[in-house]
Amino acid sequence: MNSGGSVLDLFRLDGRVVVITGASSGLGVSFAQSCAQAGADVVVTARRADRLKETVGLIEATGRQGLAVPADVSRDGDCLRIVQAAMERFGRLDVLVNNAGIEEHVPASRLEIDAFRRVIDVNLTACFAMAQAAAKVMVPGSSIINVASVLGLTTLDFPSTAYSASKAGVLGLTRSLARQWTLRKGIRVNALLPGFFPSEMTETVPVEYLQDRLVMGRLGRPEELAAALVFLASDAGGYVTGSEIVVDGGLTIT
């Protein structure tokens, strides 16, 4: 039980440092802003340096510190550099949010092998590379959150072969890392599975498709997903590891 203050205090991230990949747009920006609102200092990384500056501005508007590290997480050296930058600036790394990702919507018969490899490299291999780099400096009580997708559970009739494969792989990776690192290192590892939220990735999805499948009749709001992420990052989720948190408005029950 929480013998201290209110149960709401468990959701605070005061004094913690969060690293978020893919934080130049969409959900990554919402994650960064929400973690800062919960009290964390936030390191954001993506390839688009100009957009990262805007994210840092949102972080600093909450009164917390932000650090932009332009990088490509599909490069192993960049993953190590991101972690090093966090340690040099803040001296610690408590939460890693593996949010960077790319997608494809090409029928499997026309999907080029190089395009398949690129999706796997960014969505899955880089997820492991960032987790491995972060785990080397994390202390017990830290948290790794891998942003997967409901497309790792079901196809939803999308021709997203590489994307679905990569996100299913993220779920397997999450379970394996949780099994190895929670007991040995005290690091919780969980997966967050979004449904459809406003983002660059969902802009191309036909409205008719969504209306036929969304039980709640609408897209998710970014703050609704960010709230689940803060839960996993904070002491509120202190007894949760190896889990898959689905936030999809009932999409996968149809």
- Where in the sequence numbering do the catalytic residues fall? 163
Dihedral of the CA atoms 102, 107, 109, 113 (nearest 10)?
0
CA 192 to mean position of chain CA atoms: 7
Report the distance separating Cα 87 and Cα 66, nearest Å: 13
Residue 100 and residue 21 in contact, taking contact as beta carbons nearer than 8 Å: yes
Strand order in the sheet with 41-46: 66-70, 41-46, 17-21, 95-98, 143-147, 188-194, 244-247
Report the distance separating Cα 79 and Cα 93, nearest Å: 13
